[in-house]
Amino acid sequence: MEKVIEVKDLTKEYNKGIKAVDNLSLNVYKGEILGLLGPNGSGKSTTINCILSLLNYSKGSIKIFGKEMNPNSYDIKSQIGVVFQDVSVFDELTVYENLDYFCGLYIKDKKLRKQYIEDAIELVGLTEFKKYYPKQLSGGLLRRLNIACGIAHKPKLIFFDEPTVAVDPQSRNNILNGIKKLRDNGATIVYTTHYMEEVETLCDRIIILDKGNILARGTSDELKELAEIEEKITVEVNNLDVKYIEKISELKNVDVVTYSANTLLITYKKGKNNISDMVEFLKNNKIKYNKIFSERPTLNDVFLELTGKELRD
């Protein structure tokens, strides 16, 4: 597969020897969505800033489209789009004027630019808000404008740095669908977030970062394989007697049992038919329950096992 980004041994060290990124190597392949997953401060944004030459780095090499990336690589930059975490638009310009400015930094041809702007506006669903100023837009619409400004020039490689932070569910879905459309249109995407659900549904490959190091990489399924637990069963049951918890922990394949806030959580390391065994146990002991469901381990479980802390800690 064709490599779009090739990062080798990237190290970013701040004063006092603090390493934000430590010997990090990664490849991004053409047409994929790569998710960089990690908690705040894990080095996701620093990695992106180094790749984009917004930050000096202490060690390593970065190639984009097969060429060495540096602050003056304008030919490479012309094919890159970035959607920053903070909404990065002019408050003084309307939606259309903002797009005209940011697209104009790449596309000089007036007619073509106009077409590109219209396409971007349509993609993010801002057609009715062209003449609005950013202050007149809701948080979700503002995020969409932020995305439109980053992708209006139809780049081949797009970086999304936590684009859905503080966005309502409807706008989030709109944004995620838009990103999928961009990928379908041939763009390669690097997507950073600390929302595991997003990377699971959106990304072809995922890299889990913590403290500037890569903890794991692979597809969502491959990463879940790394988890020691195989299955999680959740039972909503009111006022469960403590004696049953002990009994459940003695059942076949059960690893850990916890009970809090009327929710019984049982994790299994392996085994089959765990849910039917649990239903039978509840029935035999005449325990009334509201809900019972089984889940595969999440990326959060993987992260928890790898680092001993939650993704959102």
Partner 1 sequence: MTVFKTYLKILRKNIVMVIIFTFLLVLFGGLSMSSQDKSLSFSAIKPDIIIINNDEKIGITKGFIDYLKENSNTPSVKNTEEALNDALFYNDTDYIIYIPKGFNEDFMSGKIDHIDVKKADNFNASYSDMLINRYLNIASIYKDKVSNQDELVKVVNKTLKNDTKINITTKLDTTSLEKAQFFFDFESYSMLVCLIFIISLILSIFNEEKIRKRNVISSSSYKRNNRILLLANLLYAFVLWIIYFGLALILLGDIIWTSNGILYVINSFVHLITITSLAFLIGNVVTNKDAVNGITNIIALGTSFFCGVFVPLAYLPDSVIKIAHCLPTYYYVKSNSIITSLEEINFNTLQPVLINMAILISFAILFVILSNIVSNKRRKIG
E strand or H helix at 115: helix 110-124
301: left (phi over 0), alpha (psi -120 to 50) or beta: alpha
Integer CA distances (angstroms), 131 to 99, 149, 288, in order = 11, 15, 58
- Please, which residue, 28 or 82, has the CB nearer to partner 1? 82
- Please, which residue, 100 or 231, has the CB nearer to partner 1? 100
**Closest approach of Cβ 11 to partner 1, in Å?**
13
238: left (phi over 0), alpha (psi -120 to 50) or beta: beta
E strand or H helix at 119: helix 110-124
**Closest approach of Cβ 176 to partner 1, in Å?**
22
**Closest approach of Cβ 289 to partner 1, in Å?**
51
**Closest approach of Cβ 101 to partner 1, in Å?**
5
Give the type of residue at 176.
L
- Please, which residue, 101 or 259, has the CB nearer to partner 1? 101
List residues near partner 1 by CB under 8 A.
14, 49, 52-56, 71-72, 74-75, 77-78, 80, 82, 84, 86-90, 92-93, 97, 100-102, 104-106, 149-150
**Closest approach of Cβ 151 to partner 1, in Å?**
12
- Please, which residue, 102 or 268, has the CB nearer to partner 1? 102
CA–CA distance, 308 with 182 (Å, rounded to integer): 36
E strand or H helix at 305: helix 299-307
- Please, which residue, 97 or 255, has the CB nearer to partner 1? 97
Integer CA distances (angstroms), 87 to 13, 53, 83, 122, 276, in order = 27, 20, 8, 19, 49
- Please, which residue, 20 or 264, has the CB nearer to partner 1? 20
**Closest approach of Cβ 17 to partner 1, in Å?**
15
